[in-house]
C-alpha cells in the first residue's frame, strides 16, 4: 500500500464483495481512490476488473440477482454509494462511465453530448450549445465535428465515437469517471489521443481506468491495482507496481509471464 496518497481521497472501497447470483466475482476488496489522479486496474481477463468498475455507478442494479457487500465510501460527503438506501440514479449523476465499446445513441453528435444535460432538465439553447462545445473540446473532438454537429453520430469513425462518448460523459461535469478498457477497440493513433485526454482530465476529475494493456497503465496512471481471481493482489504507485512489486504474482504479470 502506498503510505501516503499525497492527495485527499475521492473514494474509499472497504471490504467490497460482489455476487452475480450465487457466483462471487469480487472478494473482500479494500482500495483507496485518490482524488484528481488516475488509478489503473490491471489483471488477467475474467479477474473481475469490469465487475469492480461497475460497482461504482451501480450498473449491477440493472440486473436481477446481483448483490453487493461492503462499502464504497464517496467523498467529500462520506456516503456509502452501494448502500440500498442510496438512489443509483443520484450516484450515476455524479459518476460518469465510458464503456469498452463506443455506444453512441442513434442521435446527432450534438444530441449525444447534450443527452445528460437534457436528462437533468436543461432546455436553454445557448446554455446547451456552450456546454456541448466545451465537452467536445474537452474530448479533443470539437475541431473534427464542429461543422456537422447535427449529423448522426454513427457516421463517425470508431475512435471519434469513443471520444464522443467521453464528451457525453464530460458534459455533465462529473466528479469521477470510470473507463472500462476505453481503447481496446481503437487504433494506435486514436488510443494515444485518448491517453493524452486522460492526462488533461485528471486536473478536474478522478479517474478509474481498467486496462489490459500494461504499457497503457504505466503511461497514464498514478496508482495501479493488480487483481487476480476476484481479489486485490497488490495496490501501489504505478512506478512501484511496474519496477518493484512486492508480490511475486504481480511481478509475473507485469513482466508478461502470464495473463
- Residues within the interface to ligand ADP (CB under 6 A): 20, 23, 25, 43, 45-51
Residue 17 beta carbon to another protein: minimum distance, rounded to whole angstroms: 22
**Other C-beta atoms lying within 10 Å of the C-beta of residue 62:** 9
Residue 100 beta carbon to Mg ion: minimum distance, rounded to whole angstroms: 7
Is the CB of residue 210 less than 8 Å from the CB of residue 50? yes
Q: Does 93 interact with another protein (rule: CB under 8 A)?
A: yes
Contact with Mg ion (CB under 5 A) among 50, 211, 221, 224? 50
Residue 17 beta carbon to Mg ion: minimum distance, rounded to whole angstroms: 18
Kindly tell me which of 49 and 92 has the beta carbon lying closer to ligand ADP: 49
Cell of 195: 491517453
**Residues 97-116 within binding reach of another protein (CB under 8 A):** 97, 99, 101, 103-107, 115-116
Residue whose C-alpha cell is 446527432: 108
**Residues 141-180 within binding reach of another protein (CB under 8 A):** 154, 165, 168-169, 172
Of ligand ADP, Mg ion, another protein, none, which one does residue 93 interact with (CB within 5 to 8 Å by kind)?
A: another protein
3-class secondary-structure state, position 45: coil
Of ligand ADP, Mg ion, another protein, none, which one does residue 47 interact with (CB within 5 to 8 Å by kind)?
A: ligand ADP
What is the distance between the alpha carbons of residues 74 and 90, in angstroms, rounded to a whole number?
12
The contacts of residue 76 (CB under 8 Å, 6+ apart) are none
**Other C-beta atoms lying within 10 Å of the C-beta of residue 184:** 15
Nearest of 1, 69, 33 to residue 176 by alpha carbon = 33
Q: Does 9 interact with another protein (rule: CB under 8 A)?
A: no
Residue whose C-alpha cell is 464504497: 72
Q: Is 9 exposed, middle or buried (0-12, 13-18, 19+ CB in 10 A)?
A: middle
Is the CB of residue 38 less than 8 Å from the CB of residue 209? yes
Q: Which segment (14-22, 95-103, 190-198, 248-256) binds another protein by CB under 8 A?
A: 95-103
Q: Which residues bind another protein (CB under 8 A)?
A: 57, 59, 62, 64, 89-90, 92-93, 96-97, 99, 101, 103-107, 115-116, 118-120, 154, 165, 168-169, 172
Q: Which residues bind Mg ion (CB under 5 A)?
A: 50
Amino acid at each position: 500500500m502506498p503510505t501516503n496518497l499525497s492527495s485527499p481521497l475521492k473514494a474509499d472501497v472497504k471490504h467490497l464483495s460482489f455476487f452475480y447470483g450465487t457466483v462471487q466475482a469480487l472478494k473482500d476488496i479494500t482500495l483507496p481512490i485518490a482524488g484528481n489522479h488516475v488509478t489503473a486496474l490491471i489483471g488477467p481477463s475474467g479477474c473481475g476488473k469490469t465487475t469492480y468498475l461497475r460497482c461504482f455507478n451501480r450498473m449491477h442494479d440493472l440486473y436481477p440477482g446481483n448483490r453487493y457487500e461492503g462499502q464504497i465510501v464517496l467523498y467529500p460527503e462520506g456516503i456509502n454509494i452501494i448502500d440500498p438506501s442510496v438512489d443509483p440514479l443520484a450516484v450515476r449523476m455524479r459518476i460518469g462511465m465510458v464503456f469498452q465499446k463506443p455506444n453512441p445513441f442513434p442521435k446527432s453528435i450534438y444530441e449525444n453530448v447534450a443527452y445528460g444535460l437534457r436528462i437533468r432538465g436543461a432546455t436553454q439553447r445557448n446554455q446547451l450549445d456552450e456546454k456541448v462545445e466545451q465537452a467536445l473540446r474537452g474530448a479533443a473532438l470539437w475541431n473534427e465535428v464542429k461543422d456537422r454537429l447535427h449529423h448522426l453520430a454513427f457516421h463517425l469513425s470508431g475512435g471519434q465515437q469513443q471520444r464522443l462518448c467521453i464528451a457525453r460523459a464530460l458534459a455533465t461535469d462529473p466528479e469521477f469517471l470510470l473507463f472500462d478498457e476505453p481503447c481496446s477497440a481503437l487504433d494506435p493513433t486514436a488510443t494515444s489521443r485518448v491517453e493524452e485526454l486522460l492526462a488533461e482530465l485528471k486536473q478536474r476529475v478522478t479517474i478509474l481506468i481498467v486496462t489490459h494493456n500494461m504499457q497503457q497503465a504505466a503511461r497514464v496512471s498514478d496508482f495501479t491495482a493488480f487483481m487476480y481471481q476476484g481479489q486485490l493482489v497488490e495496490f501501489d504507485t504505478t512506478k512501484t507496481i511496474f519496477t518493484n512489486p512486492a508480490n511475486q504474482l504481480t511481478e509475473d504479470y507485469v513482466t508478461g509471464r502470464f495473463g
